[in-house]
Amino acid sequence: MKCLSCNNFSVKPLCAKCAKIYLKPEMIEKRVGNLKVISFFDYYLVSELVKSKYLVSGYRFYKYVAKKFFQPFIKAYVSSYKGDKKRLYLIGVDENVLRGYSNISLLTHYGAYKSGIKPLSSVLRAKNRVQYAGKSLEYRLNNPRGFVYSGPKNIDAILIDDVVTTGTTLQEANSVLKKSGVNVHFALTVANAVDGIDY
């Protein structure tokens, strides 16, 4: 196997050298509406890795990120959580399978692993297959995803997505979940496109 960055041999998606350079978490916090979004990386520093979701090789990257960053963060949050842990779940934003896997499913599943909470698989799905990459805020607002939620009601949740740009997707998802009595504590993403644009 090869490192996704330098193409040198590596068992992991990134060799140790590239991981030190590109995968230093920054923990960026952003507000989209009334939802707090926590991201591990600046999008522009990891954009090529994030875009691996469009390739079969992205499976390795997203599984790695879920285990290395999402899982410890979620585990720490759950251990300090004072509420009823049986009511707390992870919900992925539109776990759509492309190229044989879903990058959001990987983040949700491995993020929940050994954390004490369960992922709810494929319960928040978009009716409209809209591609937002490189699109303006106006386009995003005029072309909503049309989320449908089919999971349990009156629960607490952490929302999982890959990238936050303008925040329209997460705001729409949060709004749909609220209507079903889902109290979203925060959203967790791999990367934050600071200027609200991803390419």
pLDDT digits (tens, 9 = 90+) for 8-42: 998 899 999 999 888 999 999 999 999 999 999 99
Q: Is 127 exposed, middle or buried (0-12, 13-18, 19+ CB in 10 A)?
A: exposed
When pLDDT is averaged across residues 56-85 and rounded to a whole number, the result is: 93
φ, ψ for residue 3, nearest 5 deg: -65, 135
When pLDDT is averaged across residues 166-184 and rounded to a whole number, the result is: 95
Q: Is 117 exposed, middle or buried (0-12, 13-18, 19+ CB in 10 A)?
A: buried
Average pLDDT of the chain, as a whole number: 90
pLDDT at 195: 64
| CA-based nearest residue to 161, from 62, 89, 19 | 62
The span from the CA of 140 to the CA of 146, in Å, is 12
When pLDDT is averaged across residues 63-72 and rounded to a whole number, the result is: 96
Structure tokens at 93: 């934003």
When pLDDT is averaged across residues 76-103 and rounded to a whole number, the result is: 90
| Ordered structural domains, the chain, with CATH | 24-192 (3.40.50)
pLDDT tens track for 91-108: 999 987 777 899 999 999
pLDDT at 194 over 80: no
Per-residue CA distances from 6 to 14, 48, 170 (Å): 8, 12, 33
pTM of the model: 0.89
pLDDT at 196 over 70: no
When pLDDT is averaged across residues 124-137 and rounded to a whole number, the result is: 79
pLDDT at 169: 92
Residues 6+ apart with CB under 8 A from 158: 74, 77, 88, 89, 90, 91, 117, 184, 185, 186, 187, 188
Structure tokens at 14: 């990134």
pLDDT at 95: 86
Query: Are residues 128 and 144 in contact, defined by beta-carbon separation less than 8 angstroms?
Result: yes
Instruction: Please report, as a single letter, which amino acid is at residue 13.
Output: P
When pLDDT is averaged across residues 149-154 and rounded to a whole number, the result is: 96
pLDDT at 199 over 60: no
